[in-house]
Structure 1
């Protein structure tokens, strides 16, 4: 699995961080997504897909 997060699209809603904090974080100054792990473990696959689906700006892309 490969995850990308487009910081230009991100609006700082934080749903990704709430869904899987092992993969996503937010910058303190503006809440924009920070990708902690672009190739997360399989155990996080379901949560990563959920985070991508919940992202209101479509900033998260997952390739299996």
Structure 2
């Protein structure tokens, strides 16, 4: 076994030990939940901005079309 393979194996064992701790599992669960909340927040912000831009563009078009030249 090469030194790199041995180190990789040790890292995998340590990672498995860390992942077995309840606090790590809880942290990962909370991290997933927060990620979901942030993604939903981003979608809401994106949709709100898109709607606002569309409304503003419609107002500009209406004002421009009402100009008497």
Q: TM-score w.r.t. structure 1 length?
A: 0.24
Larger Cα-atom Rg: 2
By percentage of residues, which structure has more strand?
Answer: 1
By percentage of residues, which structure has more helix?
Answer: 2
Work out which structure has the larger RCO, using CA pairs closer than 8 Å and 6 or more positions apart in sequence.
Answer: 1
Q: TM-score w.r.t. structure 2 length?
A: 0.22
